[in-house]
Amino acid sequence: MNEHVSILGLGAMGRALASALLAAGREVTVWNRTPGKAGGLGAREASSVEEAIEAGDLTVVCLLDDASVRETLAPVAPKLDGATLVNLTSGSARQARRLAGWLDGHGVRLLAGGIMAVPPTVGTDGAFILYSGARDLFDRVAPVLAPIGRPQWVGADPGFAALYDMAALSGMYGMSAGADHAVTMVHREGGDVEAFKREVLGPWMEQMLPFMVGGADMSESVPEEYNPAMQATGLENMLAASQEAGVPEDLAGHLRASLWRMRRAAA
Ligand code: FVH
C-alpha cells in the first residue's frame, strides 16, 4: 500500500500518527502552523497547507478543534477540488456534518474520524479509529491508515464518528470523575491514597466495568437481579460520605475544577 499520506497538525497526536505511518513504510508529508515541529520524524515538511495537500493521495487533518480546521482549510478550500481528506480532529457530530457539507461544496471527499487512542497507544493492538462517511471512501482509506489503529466504520452519516467518539469520552470522563472523587475522599479523611488505588479502587472498577457498560441502557425496565431500592440508598450513602469528607458531591464538577486548576498551573 504505497499511498502517500499528508498530515496537517503536528501536536502530540499528529506526531504519533506520522510516526506510526512512517514505521509502516508510508511516504508522509507533514505541515504544522508553527514550523519546525517535524524534527526527528523523518517526514517531509511542507511549507504550506496547499503544498502538503497536493503532495498526498490523502490528507489527515489532526488539529486542536473544529475552529482550527476551518481556519486552516478556508484559505485553500477553493483549490481543493478532487482532494481526499480524513479529519481526525475531535469535535461534535454537528460540526462534522457541517464540515463535510462545506468541503463537499468544494469538491472534496471527506471521511470523518474519531481517534480511540492516546499518543503512546497509536499503532498498538488496542488502538482503533472510528470513521464515518461514504463506505467506498472508507474501503479505500482503511488499509492506508490501518497502521495508526484498527479502522472501524460506524456509518454513512459523517457525524457518527464524532458522536461515538464524544459519547465514549463521556464514559471515560465519567469513570475519571468517579476515580478522582474517590481518591479525594480518601485523601481528605487521611487514608493511604496509593494503597487505596492499588488494592481497592483498581480491582473494584475492573470488577464492575462489564456491569457498568452492559447495564447502561435507555429503558426503564429493571433487571431481575437488580435491586433499585438498595442502589438508590447506596448512592445516597456515598453522597453523604462525600459531604462528610468535605468533597463536593457533583462528580463531574469536581473533575472539571481539578482539570482547570491543572491547566492554569501548566500555563
Ligand atoms: N492527545 C490525546 O490524548 C487525544 C486523544 C484522542 C484524540 N485527541 C484529539 O486529537 C486532536 C489533536 O490533539 P493533540 O494531542 O495533537 O493536541 P495538541 O498537542 O494540543 O496539538 C494541537 C495541534 O493543533 C494545531 N493548532 C491549534 N490551533 C490551530 C489553528 N488555529 N490553526 C492551525 N493549527 C492549529 C497546533 O499547531 P501549533 O500550535 O503547533 O502551531 C498543533 O499542531 C484534538 O482534536 C484532540 O482532541 C487527542
What whole-number distance in Å separates Cα of residue 74 and Cα of residue 57? 20
The beta strands (E) that lie in the chain are given as 4-8, 27-31, 44-45, 58-61, 84-87, 109-116, 128-132, 150-153
Distance 95 CA to ligand 1 centre (A): 16
Q: What is the mean pLDDT of residues 204-224?
A: 84
Residue 2 scores a pLDDT above 70: no
From the list 144, 245, 132, the residue with the least C-alpha distance to 187 is: 245
Q: What would the grid cell of residue 193 be?
A: 491514597
Task: Measure Cα distances from 68 to 31, 139, 166, 250, 266 in Å.
Answer: 14, 28, 18, 32, 22
Q: Tell me 46's DSSP state.
A: P
Name residues contacting ligand 1 (CB within 6 A).
9-14, 32-34, 37, 62-65, 68, 71-72, 89-90, 115, 118-119
Q: What would the grid cell of residue 96 be?
A: 462534522
Taking the CA atoms of residue 195, residue 198, residue 199 and residue 205 in that order, the dihedral angle to the nearest 10 degrees is: 130
The beta strands (E) that lie in 12-149 are given as 27-31, 44-45, 58-61, 84-87, 109-116, 128-132
Mutate to test the pocket of ligand 1, among 13, 124, 169 (most ligand atoms within 8 A of CB): 13
Residue 219 scores a pLDDT above 80: no
Q: Which residue has the cell 482532494?
A: 83
Residue 267: the pLDDT is 86
Residue 1: the pLDDT is 53
Ligand 1, atom 21, residue with closest C-alpha: 11
Q: For residue 267, give the amino acid letter.
A: A
Tell me if residue 110 falls in helix, strand or coil. Answer: strand
Q: Which residues contact 236 (CB under 8 A, 6 or more apart)?
A: none
In this prediction the pTM is 0.91
How far, in whole angstroms, is CA 225 from its chain's centroid?
35
More confident site: 205 or 252: 205
Q: Which residues contact 26 (CB under 8 A, 6 or more apart)?
A: 1, 2, 3, 4, 5, 144, 147
Distance 265 CA to ligand 1 centre (A): 20
pLDDT tier at 78, thresholds 50, 70, 90: very high
Strand-pair partners of 29: 6, 44
Residue 248 scores a pLDDT above 60: yes
- Mean pLDDT over all residues of the chain? 94
Distance 179 CA to ligand 1 centre (A): 26
Q: Tell me 74's DSSP state.
A: T
Residue 252: the pLDDT is 85
Set out the domains of the chain in order of their start, with CATH numbers: 4-158 (3.40.50.720), 174-266 (no CATH)
pLDDT tier at 251, thresholds 50, 70, 90: confident
pLDDT tier at 231, thresholds 50, 70, 90: confident
pLDDT tier at 39, thresholds 50, 70, 90: very high
